[in-house]
């Protein structure tokens, strides 16, 4: 099997963040291992190659965005044109993956603030991909080796989480994510843990009713239908005693409930995979890091893991070496 047979688009992310630097570092050190094409303005890549003294990326490995040829990066700054560039790169990558030109897409981090200032009214990559791939559900699967965490709700205020946890959503996400783990990770009968929402999973209704009224009934029904799912587990003990190691997938109720422990556990090498869509999209599990943009300090570890996972899933979907 050769990694170079899998064609991967890598989007530039926010041009004022660390995405361009990471791309340049990979092209200067690990490009020979992969078949990568960058989607983003040549001028941005040339700006950072000169700033950080990296070899430039040959034109044949760049899909330029000529509409932004006059843009000059301002490392560390929120900017509407930078946001527009990041959104345009994502849309171009989605379209080229949907057409079959690329096997997968790896996306560099974006600033949600800049993205919205640039005219893309989305909360993040996951929501853009859901819209432009016409997917019923998309969800974040945070991957680190054999560990997979999924937040049921994502980029919404904490105060709105309870009302968004419905029986239909929870049931559908459990079923869809089960099928994703089977198809994309080749685990035939995944074991799935579901966390509670409230402290101590509501303590039988004393602290909250979501477990009794919504979460546990869905779990029981799906178990009766043959899925290998259990819960609702209190989140504190579940992570403190490393119970997640016993499961192929852990589903939490909201973003920080699973993202905080995931980032601690993965140690900067985690990957965000978008499940539930026709295309394959992975990304590093970190943000734009505006505070170190343009300094040469960005780490490639998470992005390299994202590339490797995209290749693995592409191979698994095709059912053969690619």
- Describe the crossing of helices 125-132 and 80-98 by its angle, rounded to 10 degrees: 40
The pLDDT tens digits of the residues spanning 232-260 come to 999 999 999 999 999 999 999 999 999 99
3-state SS, 67-102, equals HHCCCCCCCCCCCHHHHHHHHHHHHHHHHHHHCCCC
Q: How far is CA 207 from CA 32, 46, 159, 201, 230, in A?
A: 55, 56, 16, 8, 21
**Which residue bears the tokens 């589903």?**
251
The reply to whether 84 and 142 lie within a common domain is no
The pLDDT tens digits of the residues spanning 28-64 come to 987 678 999 999 999 999 999 999 999 999 999 999 9
What pTM, to 2 d.p., does this model score? Answer: 0.93
Domains of the chain: total: 2
The reply to whether 94 and 109 lie within a common domain is yes
The reply to whether 256 and 286 lie within a common domain is no
pLDDT at 290: 98
DSSP-assigned letters across all residues of 218-238: HHHHHHHTT--EEEEEPHHHH
Domain that holds residue 128: 1-135+277-322
283-320 burial by CB neighbour count: b if 16+ within 10 A, else e? bbbbebbbebbbeeebbbebbbbbbbbbbbbbbbeeee
* Band of pLDDT at residue 169, cut at 50, 70 and 90: very high
The pLDDT tens digits of the residues spanning 208-239 come to 999 999 999 999 999 999 999 999 999 999 99
The reply to whether 31 and 129 lie within a common domain is yes
pLDDT at 1: 42
**Residue that terminates a domain, selected from 235, 254, 273:** 273
The reply to whether 269 and 281 lie within a common domain is no
- Chain mean pLDDT for the chain: 95
pLDDT of 3 > 90? The answer is no
Helix (H, G, I), strand (E, B) or coil at 15: coil
Residues 292, 296, 301, 306, CA torsion sign: positive
DSSP letter assigned to residue 300 = -
The span from the CA of 110 to the CA of 17, in Å, is: 8
The reply to whether 126 and 159 lie within a common domain is no
pLDDT at 321: 43
Q: Indicate the range of 30-39, 78-87, 203-212, 298-307 predicted with least confidence.
A: 30-39
3-state SS, 262-281, equals HHHHHCCCCEEEEECCCCCE
The reply to whether 99 and 153 lie within a common domain is no
The reply to whether 228 and 266 lie within a common domain is yes
The reply to whether 243 and 313 lie within a common domain is no
The reply to whether 141 and 245 lie within a common domain is yes
The reply to whether 164 and 285 lie within a common domain is no
CATH number at residue 165: 3.40.718.10
- The answer to whether the CB of 3 falls within 8 A of the CB of 33 is yes
């Amino acid at each position: 099997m050769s990694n170079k047979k899998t064609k991967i688009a890598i989007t530039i992310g926010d041009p004022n963040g660390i995405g361009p630097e990471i791309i340049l570092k990979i092209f200067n050190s690990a490009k020979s291992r992969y078949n990568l094409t960058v989607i983003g303005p040549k001028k941005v890549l040339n700006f950072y190659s000169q700033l950080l003294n990296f070899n430039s990326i040959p034109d044949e490995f760049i899909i330029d965005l000529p509409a932004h040829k006059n843009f000059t990066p301002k490392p560390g700054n929120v900017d509407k044109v930078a946001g527009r560039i990041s959104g345009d790169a994502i849309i171009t990558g989605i379209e080229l993956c949907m057409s079959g030109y690329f096997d997968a897409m790896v996306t560099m981090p974006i600033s949600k603030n800049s993205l919205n200032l640039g005219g893309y009214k989305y909360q993040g990559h996951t929501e853009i991909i859901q819209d432009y791939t016409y997917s019923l559900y998309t969800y974040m699967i945070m991957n680190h080796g054999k560990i997979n965490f999924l937040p049921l709700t994502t980029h919404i205020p904490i105060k709105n989480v309870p009302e968004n946890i419905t029986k239909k959503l929870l049931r559908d996400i459990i079923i869809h994510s089960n099928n994703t783990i089977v198809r994309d990770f080749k685990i035939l009968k995944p074991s799935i843990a579901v966390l509670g929402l409230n402290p101590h999973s509501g303590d039988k209704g004393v602290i909250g009713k979501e477990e009794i009224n919504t979460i546990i009934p869905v779990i029981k029904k799906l178990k009766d239908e043959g899925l290998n799912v259990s819960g609702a587990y209190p989140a504190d003990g579940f992570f403190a005693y490393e119970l997640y190691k016993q499961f192929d997938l852990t589903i939490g109720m909201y973003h920080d409930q699973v993202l905080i422990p995931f980032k601690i556990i993965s140690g900067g090498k985690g990957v965000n995979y978008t499940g539930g869509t026709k295309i394959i999209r992975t990304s590093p599990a970190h943000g734009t890091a505006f505070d170190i943009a343009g300094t040469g300090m960005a780490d490639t570890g998470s992005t390299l893991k994202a590339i490797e996972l995209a290749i693995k899933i592409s191979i698994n979907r095709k059912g053969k070496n690619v």
